[in-house]
Amino acid sequence: MIALLAELSYWQVTSIRVGAGLVAVLLVAGTLVYAHLFKMVSFMQSRLGPMEAGPYGSLQLMAEIGKFLQKEDIVPRRADRFVFKAAPFVVLTSTFLLLVVLPGGPDAWFISNDLGIYLAMAVGSVSVIGILMAGWGSASKYSLLGGLRATGQLIAYELPLLLAVVGVVIQAETMNLQEIVLAQANGEIFGWGLIGNPFILTQFAGFIIFMIAMQAELTQTPFDMPVAESELVTGYMTEYSGLRFLLFFIGEFATAGVFSAIAAVLFLGGWYVPGLDPADNLFNVIGPLVLFGKVVVLTFLVFWVRFTFPRFREDQLQRLAWKFLVPLALANIVVTGVLKVLV
């Protein structure tokens, strides 16, 4: 694989990467929308979901995209036009940047970066800027309230998210996501190394904190106060229509997929399946699929919670972040550090 890539020129490698990035974002987002938003939720709510477009409604997504593309791109008269128009792209950019450090196999990834998870956490918060831009630029009171709520919430939950990762980093002794996968593949739990050491077993508290904080970062129920459709009329997205709304929509689901992929890499062993040699070239082919399978499982959890729970009020979710998740994450770091030194 490496040899093959080495023979290609720079522009060829770049186009492969861009193509892979688009596939990784759009395919994942599309699958999640169909499998979770259309079908799983319909079954939860005792309905069938889309059944007409294509076999079993599988082309419904295409129909929806076609619908969105036909709609007029409306900019409110008093809106800050440039900020308003740029906001969805900023949000989507953050999603694509998150993907850069994600490993899909021993060689199948975009950039080997020793600060991988650090970079991911950093670019993950770029979406806050996009959301704030959307909230401010729309010149709508609902959007403004939604944008401000989103900013407060995303900043608050950035911290437990990061602190939950620190436990993994201590245990794996690296921030490079590829090496975190290998550490899980080659690791052992107190001398028992049959299935490696998926960090969900040894970092269970970290995993729970990461999933809760991720739910909040994605502004999914019960942390969807910023979009609260029953009071703020979807908050910062109120004024968007057509293609730009579609971009927000893709951004929401693609980010859910990419964050789940990060969680899968950190806690579920990423592209690795127990029982095989992690250096096997086979993983360059099945690795992305394995990762995708794990992503589907994790996003299933996200959307299961999303469609079951009512939402927290703004002060309640802040209290949860600062008074419960942050202390728990700090305790987790301390315990991990002590055990790391002792064992």
Partner 1 sequence: MTVTERQQLGYIAAQAADARVNLEIETEGMTLNIGPQHPATHGTLRIVAKLDGEQVVAAEPVMGYMHRGYEKLAEVRTYPQVTTLINRIDWLGSFANEVPFILAAERLMEVEAPPRAQWIRTVLFELSRIANITLFLGDMAVQVGAITPVFFAFRDREHVLNQIEAATGGRFHPNFDRIGGLKDDLPAGWVAETRQAMRKIRAFCDEIEELVEGNEIFQARTRGIGVIPPDVGLSYGLTGANIRASGVNWDVRRDSPCGLVHDQVDWKVWTHPDGDSFARFWVRLQETREATKIVDQLLDGIPSGPIMAKVPVIIKVPAGEAYVETENPLGVMGYYVVSKGDLNPFRVKIRSASFSNVSITPWLLRGVYVPDIITILGSLYFILGDIDR
CB 276, min distance to partner 1, A? 40
Nearer of residues 34 and 142 to partner 1, judged by Cβ: 142
Range 249-308, binding partner 1 (CB under 8 A): 307-308
**Rg for the chain (alpha carbons), in Å?**
20
Residue 228 as a binder of partner 1 (CB under 8 A): the answer is yes
Task: Select the residue interacting with partner 1 from 60, 221, 299, 336 (CB under 8 A).
Answer: 221
Nearer to partner 1, 202 or 234 (CB): 234
Q: Whole-number minimum distance, CB 289 to partner 1, in Å?
A: 31
Is the separation of the CB atoms in 88 and 98 below 8 Å? no
**Which DSSP category does 302 fall into?**
H
Query: Which residues does 7 contact at the CB level (< 8 Å), separation at least 6?
Result: none
Member of 67, 81, 313, 340 binding partner 1 (CB under 8 A):
313
User: Which is nearest to 209 in space by CA: 73, 326, 34, 36?
Assistant: 326
Contact stretch for partner 1 (CB under 8 A) within 92-100, 123-131, 229-237, 279-287: 229-237
Residue 54 burial (CB count, 10 A): 13
Shortest CB 69 distance to partner 1, Å = 25
Identified binder of partner 1 from the candidate list 310, 341, 342, 343, rule CB under 8 A: 310
Q: Is 323 among the residues that bind partner 1 (CB under 8 A)?
A: no
Q: State which amino acid sits at residue 113.
A: N
Buried b (16+ CB within 10 A) or exposed e, 215-250: bbbbbbbbbbbbbbeeebebbbbbbbeeebbbbbbb
- Alpha helices of 33-176 — where are they, by DSSP H? 41-44, 60-70, 81-99, 116-124, 126-137, 141-172
225 binding partner 1? (CB under 8 A): yes
Residue 25, token pair as written in the block: 């974002």
Q: Which is nearer to partner 1, 51 or 121 (CB)?
A: 51
Total residues at the site for partner 1 (CB under 8 A)? 28
Of positions 56, 89, 96, 309, contacts partner 1 by CB under 8 A = 309
Burial class (CB in 10 A: 0-12, 13-18, 19+), 325: buried
Binds partner 1 (CB under 8 A): choice among 224, 254, 328, 332: 224
Q: How far is the CB of 46 from partner 1 (least distance, A)?
A: 5
User: Using the rule CB under 8 A, is 48 a contact of partner 1?
Assistant: no
**Is the previous residue joined to 222 through a cis bond, with omega within 30 degrees of 0?**
yes
- Exactly one of 32, 33, 132, 145 binds partner 1 (CB under 8 A); which one? 145
Name the residues that contact partner 1, by CB under 8 A.
41, 44-47, 141-142, 145, 221-222, 224-225, 228-233, 307-316
